[in-house]
């Protein structure tokens, strides 16, 4: 192990400005920017907009009187679709500056960031259009077109599709980004180990990187070879390592690179530093893998519970509810005042209830599954999108 004096010397050496700024941005909480304040204001206006929709409906502006009264369940589903779409729009607006900076920067994910930015700028307006279309169909404003005439489930289905269109692209790109980061960080300890072995053999760090560039590190191959080419062209080792850290940009790589630069500048025992960095990275990935494995069972429970809910609900609205309503209507006709008329409940009303409850459970269960399995809300969007799609297919079409 390294001497305590050497360790204190390593910690006393200042980081290069580019690495220091990256570490400080990672450790310090970010302050609200102008765009973030606009997002917060937009989120605060969501309840106001929903109240305005209710007032317009009650005033008859958005309601077609010829269609008769509506149950509150279909309107609540439309509110849920509009609220989810606006929340995702606020999230995309808050991430747009970061995505633009990544797309224009030197990072290895600049092309993916540009594709994500363009896709979200297209899908979010589409989600708003679909959500507005659901309200227009519900109000009867599009009855003259005949496309949605006689389709009582059309407005709730459009609201569900709006939620799916708003959430699915963000969830998809977050899944791709997390998978790529996982694949890079999975092989990063091997890269540090090979550097350590080459350095122990008497090579300088620049020579060790050139030797390591001939190895196989999966997704890190291109960046390691690019760093080796920079060193071969005369770029100082610390600058090449700093640029490598900025291009990869993951927290694990940033911390390890900062530690390596400190050790190189201090001129201490680099072997122990590389060994400690490789061991630290390997232990972090092992803990993450253990956490994912332990949480996988809970994610499976979420999906199984939602599948049971869909099966029971499909059986209720496909078999039990029609039988109950038919027998009630028959009894009511014999008595002269049917219960189905007195309570005003029809099969369509029950479909509204089940579909609304299914959407709420899909969103809530998906977010909980993502937080439990991967520890972030964007991972929850992935599970929520899958469950919302199952709810739309199982409760809306079947």
- pLDDT tens, residue by residue, 139-150: 777 765 666 666
CA dihedral 43, 72, 154, 361 (to 10 degrees): 60
User: What confidence score (pLDDT) does residue 23 get?
Assistant: 41
Whether 213 has a pLDDT exceeding 80, the answer reads yes
pTM: 0.74
Among 44-48, 128-132, 228-232, the range of highest mean pLDDT? 128-132
pLDDT above 90: percentage of residues in the chain: 13
∠ CA(320), CA(325), CA(327), 5° rounding?
95
Residue with tokens 């496909």: 318
- What DSSP element (H or E) covers 299? helix 270-315
The per-residue DSSP string of 17-62 comes to HHHHHHHHHHHSPPPP-HHHHHHHHHHHHHHHHHHHHHHHHHTTSS
Whether 99 has a pLDDT exceeding 60, the answer reads yes
User: What confidence score (pLDDT) does residue 55 get?
Assistant: 66
Taking residue 59's Cβ as centre, other Cβ atoms within 10 Å add up to 9
User: What confidence score (pLDDT) does residue 7 get?
Assistant: 37
* Alpha helices per DSSP H over 316-346: 321-335, 339-343
Quick one: average pLDDT of 89-97? 84
Tokens of 289: 């893998």
Burial bucket for residue 315 (CB in 10 Å: 0-12, 13-18, 19+): exposed
Dist CA 5 CA 335 (whole Å)? 96
CA atoms within 13 A on the CB side of 52: 7
Residue in 104, 111, 91 with CA at minimum distance from that of residue 376: 91
Residue in 157, 65, 78 with CA at minimum distance from that of residue 148: 157
Among 25-34, 138-147, 260-269, 272-281, the range of highest mean pLDDT? 272-281
pLDDT grade for 57, boundaries at 50, 70 and 90: low
Dist CA 185 CA 179 (whole Å)? 10
pLDDT grade for 45, boundaries at 50, 70 and 90: low
Quick one: average pLDDT of 241-256? 81
Whether 2 has a pLDDT exceeding 50, the answer reads no
C-alpha 323: how far from its chain's center? 42
Dist CA 182 CA 256 (whole Å)? 16
Which DSSP category does 69 fall into? -
- Cβ within 8 Å of residue 279, ≥6 positions away: 189
Residue spans per domain, the chain: 23-184+287-397, 185-286
pLDDT in tens, 315-325: 888 788 777 77
**Mean pLDDT for the chain overall:** 76
Dist CA 79 CA 49 (whole Å)? 10
Dist CA 20 CA 254 (whole Å)? 10
pLDDT grade for 28, boundaries at 50, 70 and 90: very low
- What DSSP element (H or E) covers 170? helix 154-200
Burial bucket for residue 13 (CB in 10 Å: 0-12, 13-18, 19+): middle
Taking residue 390's Cβ as centre, other Cβ atoms within 10 Å add up to 17
């Amino acid at each position: 192990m390294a001497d305590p004096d050497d360790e204190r010397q390593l910690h006393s050496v200042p980081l290069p400005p580019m690495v220091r700024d990256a570490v400080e941005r990672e450790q310090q909480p970010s302050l609200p920017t102008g765009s973030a304040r606009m997002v917060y204001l937009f989120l605060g206006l969501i309840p106001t907009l929903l109240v305005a929709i209710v007032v317009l409906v009650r005033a008859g502006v958005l309601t077609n009187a010829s269609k008769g009264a509506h149950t509150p369940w279909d309107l609540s589903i439309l509110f849920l679709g509009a609220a989810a779409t606006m929340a995702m729009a606020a999230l995309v607006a808050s991430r747009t500056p970061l995505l633009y900076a990544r797309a224009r920067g030197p990072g290895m994910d600049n092309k993916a960031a540009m594709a994500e930015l363009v896709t979200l700028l297209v899908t979010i307006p589409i989600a708003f259009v679909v959500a507005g279309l659901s309200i227009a169909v519900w109000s009867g404003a599009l009855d003259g077109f005949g496309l949605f005439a006689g389709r009582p489930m059309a407005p709730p289905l459009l609201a569900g599709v709006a939620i799916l269109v708003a959430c699915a692209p963000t969830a998809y790109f977050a899944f791709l980004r997390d998978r790529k980061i996982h694949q890079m960080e999975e092989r990063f300890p091997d890269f540090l180990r090979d550097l350590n072995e080459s350095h122990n053999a008497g090579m300088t760090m620049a020579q060790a990187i050139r030797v390591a560039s001939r190895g196989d590190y999966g997704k890190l191959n291109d960046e390691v070879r690019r760093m080796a080419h920079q060193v071969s062209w005369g770029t100082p080792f610390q600058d090449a390592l700093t640029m490598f850290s900025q291009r990869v940009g993951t927290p694990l790589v940033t911390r390890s690179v900062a530690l390596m630069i400190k050790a190189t500048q201090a001129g201490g025992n680099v072997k122990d530093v590389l060994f400690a960095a490789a061991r630290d990275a390997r232990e972090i990935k092992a803990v993450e893998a253990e956490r994912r494995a332990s949480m996988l069972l809970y994610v499976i429970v979420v999906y199984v519970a939602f599948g049971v809910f869909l099966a029971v609900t499909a059986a209720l609205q496909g078999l039990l509810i029609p039988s109950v309503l038919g027998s009630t209507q028959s009894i009511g006709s014999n008595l002269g005042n049917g219960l189905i008329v007195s309570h005003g409940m029809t099969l369509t009303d029950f479909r509204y209830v089940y579909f609304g409850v299914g959407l709420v459970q899909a969103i809530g269960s998906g977010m909980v599954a993502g937080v439990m399995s991967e520890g972030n809300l964007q991972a929850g969007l992935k599970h929520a999108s899958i469950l919302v799609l199952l709810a739309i297919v199982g409760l809306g079409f079947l």
